C-alpha cells in the first residue's frame, strides 16, 4: 500500500507546488493523475520517488517512510533520459548491475521483447526514434521489478496509434507482476484506457480536485468508458476554472 499523508511541497523560491495531498493507493492499482500544466504532478512523482523531500507530510510504502530513492519504486521521467554511452540493452540492464551477467541478459531480453525492441538491443540511443526511446525507458524501469512504478507523461510526445500500441505493451508488462502504477497524463482517453482510478488535480497551489473511478472490465467504446471519459473531462474543465456545456450535463 502506497500512502500519501497530507503532503505539501513548497520550493525554495516560494512556489507552492502542492498542498495537503492525501491518497491511498492499494497494491496493483493503476492510478492516473490528470491535471493542467503546472499543477504539481511531476513534483508529486518526484516526492514519491524520493528524489525530493516534502515540506510537510509523509509518504509511506507498506508502512516505511520514503525519504530517499527506494529499491521498490521505479520512475519513468517525462523524457526518456537514456544514457547515450550505453547500448539499448545496456540501458535497460542499468539497474541490474548486482545480478550475474546471464540472469541480467535474460531479463533484459525478455523485457525488450515485451516492448517490441528485441532487434534493437545493440544499437545506440541516438539511433532510435522518440517513441522507441520512451519504450526503452519503460523497459528499464520494469526490468528492476518495482513494487511501485511512477510514469510521468510517458506517451505525451507520441502519435495516437503508437500511443495505443504502447498502452498494450504497458498493460502486458503490468500483468506480469502487477505493480502499483501511478501514471501522469494530460490525456483523458489515456487515463480511462489504463487506470482503475483517475485523480484530477488543480493548480495554485497544486491539490486534489476530485476522483473518478473507472470500473473494469471495459473497452475503449463501452458505455462505462464513455461515461468515465465524460465525467473526467468535465472535472478537468472545472479544475481549470472553465465551465462548459459538458460540465453542466451530469455524468
Ligand X SMILES: Nc1ncnc2c1ncn2[C@@H]1O[C@H](COP(=O)(O)OP(=O)(O)OP(=O)(O)O)[C@@H](O)[C@H]1O
Binding site for ligand X (CB under 6 A): 11, 13, 15, 17, 37-43, 206
* Rounded distance between C-alpha atoms, residue 42 and residue 132, angstroms: 22
Nearest in space to 20 (alpha carbons), one of 33, 7, 39: 7
Radius of gyration from C-alpha coordinates of the chain = 18
- 185 touches Mg ion by CB under 5 A: no
Strand order in the sheet with 64-65: 16-25, 2-10, 56-61, 64-65
Asked if the peptide bond before residue 217 counts as cis, ω within 30 degrees of 0, the response is: yes
Q: Tell me the window of 63-71, 173-181, 189-197, 239-247 that interacts with other proteins (CB under 8 A).
A: 63-71
Chosen from ligand X, Mg ion, other proteins, none, partner binding at 38 (C-beta under 5 to 8 Å by type): ligand X
Chosen from Mg ion, other proteins, ligand X, none, partner binding at 13 (C-beta under 5 to 8 Å by type): ligand X
Site track 31-50 with Mg ion (rule: CB under 5 A), x = hit: -----------x--------
Nearest in space to 173 (alpha carbons), one of 242, 74, 70, 85: 74
- Min dist CB 54 to ligand X, Å, is 13
Question: Residue 36 — φ and ψ, nearest 5°?
Answer: -65, 170
- Min dist CB 42 to ligand X, Å, is 3
The smaller minimum CB distance to Mg ion, of residues 10 and 156, is found at 156
Chosen from other proteins, ligand X, Mg ion, none, partner binding at 219 (C-beta under 5 to 8 Å by type): none
Residue with cell 540492464: 93
Chosen from Mg ion, ligand X, other proteins, none, partner binding at 178 (C-beta under 5 to 8 Å by type): none
Amino acid at each position: 500500500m502506497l500512502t500519501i499523508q497530507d503532503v505539501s511541497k513548497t520550493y525554495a523560491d516560494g512556489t507552492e507546488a502542492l498542498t495537503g495531498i492525501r491518497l491511498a493507493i492499494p497494491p496493483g492499482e493503476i492510478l492516473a493523475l490528470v491535471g493542467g500544466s503546472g499543477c504539481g504532478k511531476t513534483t508529486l512523482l518526484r516526492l514519491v520517488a524520493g528524489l525530493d523531500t516534502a515540506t510537510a507530510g509523509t509518504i509511506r510504502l507498506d508502512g516505511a517512510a520514503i525519504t530517499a530513492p527506494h529499491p521498490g519504486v521505479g520512475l519513468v521521467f517525462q523524457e526518456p533520459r537514456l544514457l547515450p554511452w550505453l547500448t539499448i540493452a545496456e540501458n535497460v540492464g542499468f539497474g541490474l548491475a548486482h545480478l550475474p551477467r546471464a540472469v541480467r541478459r535474460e531479463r533484459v531480453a525478455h523485457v525488450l521483447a515485451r516492448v517490441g525492441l528485441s532487434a534493437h538491443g545493440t544499437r545506440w540511443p541516438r539511433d532510435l526514434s522518440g517513441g522507441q526511446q520512451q519504450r526503452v525507458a519503460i523497459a528499464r524501469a520494469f526490468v528492476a521489478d518495482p513494487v511501485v512504478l511512477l510514469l510521468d507523461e510517458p506517451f505525451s510526445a507520441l502519435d495516437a496509434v503508437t500511443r495505443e500500441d504502447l498502452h498494450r505493451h504497458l498493460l502486458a508488462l503490468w500483468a506480469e507482476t502487477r505493480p502499483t502504477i501511478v501514471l501522469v497524463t494530460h490525456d483523458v482517453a489515456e487515463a480511462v484506457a489504463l487506470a482503475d482510478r483517475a485523480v484530477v488535480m488543480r493548480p495554485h497551489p497544486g491539490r486534489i480536485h476530485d476522483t473518478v473511478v473507472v470500473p473494469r472490465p471495459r473497452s475503449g467504446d463501452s458505455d462505462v468508458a464513455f461515461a468515465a471519459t465524460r465525467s473526467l473531462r468535465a472535472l478537468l474543465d472545472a479544475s481549470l476554472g472553465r465551465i462548459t456545456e459538458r460540465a453542466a450535463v451530469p455524468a
